[in-house]
Amino acid sequence: MANAITIESVSKTYQRDKMSVPVLNNVSLEIPEGEFIALMGPSGSGKTTLLNLIAGIDRPTKGRILVGGTDISTLSETSLAKWRSSKVGFIFQFYNLIPVLTAFENVELPLTLTKLTKAERKRQVELALQVVGLSDRMNHYPKQLSGGQEQRVAIARAIASDPSIIVADEPTGDLDKKSADEIMTLLTRLNKEFHKTIVMVTHDPSAADRATLVRHLEKGDLLG
Amino acid sequence: MKIPFKYILRNFWARRLTTSITLGGVALVVFVFAAVLMMAYGVNKTLASTGSEENVIVTRKSSQGEITSIIDRETANIIYALPGIAKGSDGKPLASGEPVVVINLNKKSGGLSNVTVRAVAPPAFILRPQVKLKEGRMFKFGSRELIVGTSIAQNFEGASVGGTVKFAGDQWTIVGIFDANGGGFESEMWGDAEQLLAAFNRSSYSTITFKLANPDAFDGIQSAFAKEPRLQQFEPKIEKKYFEEQSEMMATFIRILGIFITVIFSAGAIIGAMITMYGAVANRTVEVGTLRALGFRRSSVLIAFLIESLIISFFGGCIGLLLASSLQFVKISTLNFSSFAELAFSFALSPSIIINSLIFALIMGFVGGFLPAIHAARLKIVNALRAS
């Protein structure tokens, strides 16, 4: 199976005042299409940084990242924004829904960046909300939803534009066990039924158990 | 790649307190700005409506106003004989030689103020048909009687029908009150020219006003003044233009002083808008990060925050204008620097004042919102998301 993501000798160093802080050291990783990979490791190990680099919201200091054959580390700011809007779905620990928009409008948000008509967008949004089981809550605002429901809306937003890759940063980190299980079941379904490549950062071993591949990071190094 | 407009609109409601405070700040500054322009325009409008396009006023060259102009009777007779002056039914020129003086009267609100006394010849009422008696009767030529404009009657002690005012060593009885379509004549007292000249022991008029025989006759009048050696020191002007020019000095002073003050005020409103918008960016840093992660460009974020600031300032401007428009019902009386006499006028609103006030509001919004919008657009996605 072809690689969805290829990370070649990637290093990332942050500048803090006059100090250079290395976060990732020469990391190489191949993630085949349709894989569900969990990145684990202690705080500060560089797992979220690696996720951000894969998602194209940060740039490596050194090395190359190829996603679907595109070297995203060379893309311009504008091209990278366009690439993200069509290729990557984001799931955040604290859901990051826009509080002044309804569930429907939050899910529709990435679709406003596409050329879809209003009717087509409506169909896509309804389908995405149906997949996450929230068809009956589409006119609710985030504050009217539970944490688990908010995360399901966030998942619907992540899949609405049908991206090939979904990145999830601690998707169950802010949820109770029952809601966390529901979210992980949903992600597993997206991986199995909809063949989405999922890259997930987690501290939770039970969440990592649902992944098809688990890799550990420590002090910026990929283990194993 | 635009951020949906409803996102911008609903954020106003979500931050209604800070939005309202900024709106209020902009509204107050625009209110002052518009009020100053309305005041200057009110002076313009009042004095411009005083004169007529069909009348010509003659003054001594280089005189700053009517009270500093002198025209002797010999010159007056030369002027009356010029061709191009309309004639009355009696065949006499429709012209009024007018001595104009300034006297002191007690204001009802306290203190003394200058009042213009214009003494006229009988044709004056044909020349100024807008002057209409509102109360009492017309003064009798040959008597020491006066009629007073409505603003004088409202603002000065004893300036009512039956009252008397003392000047030039004599008592003058007020027999009527007139209005003049809101023009500057309403801030004057009118009486018989010959009586006034005798009382002040003067023989010269201040100005001469006459009616043109036809609208094209003014060019002929001008060339007659240019050719006649005895008229070299005098200048004919269309009456409307003359009074417009008389308003300019005071209107310009009000405008410059007012705009200077409002520009200083606007710095406060701009800082207020800036604080609000920086607050908006700080409260929504994670949202900005999320929007950017989803694929919205920096420019979209910049435009969204700028639009937000512009909308606040626009509506603030509308509220300020609405408040200022209520000033149209207010009439104030103050010293006209040109005539050194009291002039009553109303605040007046014009389309250009509306446009200028809204542009001023939008400039405040733009300046206040620009830096915060730049700050929002330049946020690094990773740092913005970490703000949660």
CATH of domain A3-222: 3.40.50.300
Residue bearing the bigger pLDDT, B15 or B320: B320
Average pLDDT over residues A168-184: 92
Q: For residue A85, is pLDDT > 80? A: yes
For residues B331 and A161, what is the distance between their CA atoms, to the nearest angstrom?
64
CA–CA min distance B282, chain A (Å):
15
| Overall average pLDDT of the A89-114 stretch | 94
Kindly state whether A194 is in contact with chain B, defined as any CB-CB distance less than 8 angstroms.
no
Confidence of residue B182 (pLDDT cuts 50, 70, 90): confident
Residue B85's SS3 state is strand
Asked if pLDDT for residue B62 goes beyond 70, the answer is yes
The domain segmentation of chain B, as residue ranges, is 5-48+246-386, 62-232
Return mean pLDDT, chain B: 90
Question: In chain B, positions 356-385, which contact chain A (CB-CB < 8 Å)?
Answer: 380-382, 385
CB B347 within 8 A of CB B325: no
pLDDT at B340 over 80: no
Percent of chain B with pLDDT over 90: 59
pLDDT for the residue numbered A4: 87
Interface residue B287 vs chain A (CB under 8 A): yes
Residue type at position B72: D
Is B14 within 8 Å of chain A by CB?
Answer: yes
Q: Is the pLDDT of residue B60 over 70?
A: yes
**H or E segment at B146?**
strand B145-149
Residue B31 identity (one-letter amino acid): F
Confidence category of residue A179, pLDDT binned at 50, 70, 90: very high
Q: Is residue A111's pLDDT more than 80?
A: yes
Q: How far apart are the first and last CA of chain B?
A: 25
Return the pLDDT at B168. Answer: 85
| Residue B317 Cα to chain centre, angstroms | 21
Query: Residue B336 corresponds to which amino acid?
Result: N
Instruction: Check B385 against A112: CB less than 8 A apart.
Output: no
Sheet holding A3-16, edge to edge: A19-32, A3-16, A62-67, A70-71
**Contact present, A128 and A163 (Cβ < 8 Å):** no
Query: What sections of chain A are H helices per DSSP?
Result: 47-55, 77-87, 103-108, 118-131, 147-160, 177-192, 205-209
| Chain segment B373-385, per-residue pLDDT in tens | 999 999 999 999 9
CB contact under 8 A, A92 and B385: yes
| B168-189 mean pLDDT | 91
ipTM of the complex model:
0.93
Provide Rg for chain A, Cα atoms. 17
> How many cross-chain Cβ pairs, A to B, lie less than 8 Å apart?
72
> What pLDDT score was predicted for residue B64?
81
Domain residue spans in chain A? 3-222
pLDDT at B307 over 60: yes
Q: Which residues of A touch B290 (CB under 8 A)?
A: 90, 92, 96, 98
In this predicted model, what pLDDT tens digit does every residue of B143-156 receive, in sequence order?
Answer: 999 999 999 999 89
